[in-house]
Amino acid sequence: MKNLHTAGLFLKAFMLIVFYFWDVGMSSSDNAMTSQILRSEQIQPIPYRITNQLSDLEDFEHLEASIKRMMNRYNIKGASLAVAKDGQLVYAKGIGYADAEAGEQVEPRHLFRVASVSKLITAATIMKMTESGLFDIDDKVFGKEGILNDSIYLDYADPRIEKITVRHLLNHSAGWNNRFGDPLAMHHLIARRMDIDRSEVNVPVILSYVLKNRLHYEPGSRTSYSNLGYAILGEVIEAVSGMDYESYINQTILYPLGIHEMRVGRSLLEGRFENEVKYYGTSFSAYGGNDIETLGAAGGWIASPVELLKLAVAIDTIPGMSSLLKPETVELMTDLRLSEGHPLGWAGTDGRGNWWRTGTLTGTSALVMRQNDGLTWVVVFNSSTSRGISLPREINIEVQTALNKIENWPDHDLFYHFETMPYLYPDIAELR
């Protein structure tokens, strides 16, 4: 452990110098050049640098045993976990199968659908844009003076539409509920009502259809969980940036953080990305039932827990570490008094510094937890369970119980582990 720590500190210091001058250079380049350099084959994504073996640590045996018991109890094929202590990645491991039929074991590099955890990605981007002065959180979204003032969004039945602000979309108070179903899951109905082919249904089409109906309640008067609201935020990002949603987030949020493998997933098995796990449903197929591309900003992202954890750490305020967002922005996202009833991007907070974000789709369940004791962790499964949306609560109990038993935390930071990058560091073998 000491040799690994010594080598890690040396390489970490070296890389901080390299990345400093690299970031300075990047700040003066245009977006196209930034994308080209940041996606260079010479930069190996974080999850590829680490393997399960690096987290074969005795102190984490209770955690692994708890997860394995849950997997056996609910017939879960594969899981992936990542734990950070005070912003440092101390543990990252896959358990079970990424592809059971092929016998492929889960490793830290594997990508999972993270479902509604995608809302945290979207919210962080929106808040960063407000910090940059691109718009205000209380700006109107619709109407001739709104952000989405394209002609296709000006034909609305309810004049209260003009009252909807960016904040309302973030905190699920824009005026829609799911009493009559989730519009993002009503492709066949909308295609029939709009007299178009099913394949033509996308977020702009869904939104133009929804706007022809009345709101369910006055914007800002109460909260009601809405995928639609976050899909609209994806349209806001595109309208303001002039770029497509995924590309903008990659170039302005993820790539500068060293996160290279997160992306919006695909609905069908044949669209499965390299290193993406296979998903296992119960009574419903994990492929084709949900339109992942349409869910996009609300629930379409795929990620490794390692990179997802790096983002979660970056949008926190950890002493001694830089943050993607200003402290007052983080407070606005997590203080219910400031966010007006529902946290922004996060699924919940308890007022004591614990924040969480859950995500559930057929074939996947994800939980991001930020604790007030310096621990942040991610658990993702690639299988549906009978517990459905209740599973994250059980995950939280099991993981926190296991983590509380750890007395000796590793002193390494796997975010900066470069042992598997010899082409960048030809002399690295001498450090082993």
pLDDT digits (tens, 9 = 90+) for 46-78: 888 899 999 999 999 999 999 999 999 999 999
The Cα diameter of the chain in Å comes to 70
pTM above 0.85, yes or no: yes
What's the CA dihedral at 137, 141, 144, 148 to 10 degrees?
Answer: 120
User: Do the Cβ atoms of 381 and 364 come closer than 8 Å?
Assistant: yes
User: Do the Cβ atoms of 418 and 13 come closer than 8 Å?
Assistant: no
- Residue 265 pLDDT: 98
Task: For 85-116, give one letter per residue: b (16+ CB within 10 A) or e.
Answer: bbbbbbbbbbbbbbbeeeeeebbbbbbbbbbb
- Residue 419 pLDDT: 56
Give all strands of the β-sheet with 112-113 in edge-to-edge order: 112-113, 301-303, 263-264
Write out the two tokens for 362. Answer: 């057929």
Which domains, from first to last, does the chain contain?
Answer: 55-117+260-414 (3.40.710.10), 123-241 (no CATH)
Spatial separation of the C-alpha atoms in residues 287 and 304, rounded to whole Å: 19
Residue type, 128: K
- Residue 45 pLDDT: 84
- Residue 417 pLDDT: 86
User: Do the Cβ atoms of 102 and 149 come closer than 8 Å?
Assistant: no
3-state secondary structure of 260: coil
Which residues share a beta bridge with 241? none
Per-residue pLDDT of the chain (432 residues; tens, 9 = 90+): 434 344 444 434 443 333 333 333 333 333 333 333 334 344 578 888 899 999 999 999 999 999 999 999 999 999 999 999 999 999 999 999 999 999 999 999 999 999 999 999 999 999 999 999 999 999 999 999 999 999 999 999 999 999 999 999 999 999 999 888 899 999 999 999 999 999 899 999 999 999 999 999 999 999 999 999 999 999 999 999 999 999 999 999 999 999 999 999 999 999 999 999 999 998 678 998 899 999 999 999 999 999 999 999 999 999 888 899 999 999 999 999 999 889 999 999 999 999 999 999 999 999 999 999 999 999 999 999 988 888 999 999 999 999 999 999 999 999 998 754 443 333 323 322
- Residue 43 pLDDT: 58
Spatial separation of the C-alpha atoms in residues 388 and 360, rounded to whole Å: 7
DSSP annotation of 268: S
- Residue 253 pLDDT: 97
The DSSP-derived string for 316-342 is S--TTS--SS-HHHHHHHH-HHHHTSS
- Residue 18 pLDDT: 38
User: Do the Cβ atoms of 367 and 249 come closer than 8 Å?
Assistant: no
Residue type, 141: V
H helix count then E strand count, the chain: 15, 10
- Residue 285 pLDDT: 86
Task: For 330-355, give one letter per residue: b (16+ CB within 10 A) or e.
Answer: bebbbeeeebeebbbbbbebeeeebb
- Residue 388 pLDDT: 81
- Residue 5 pLDDT: 41
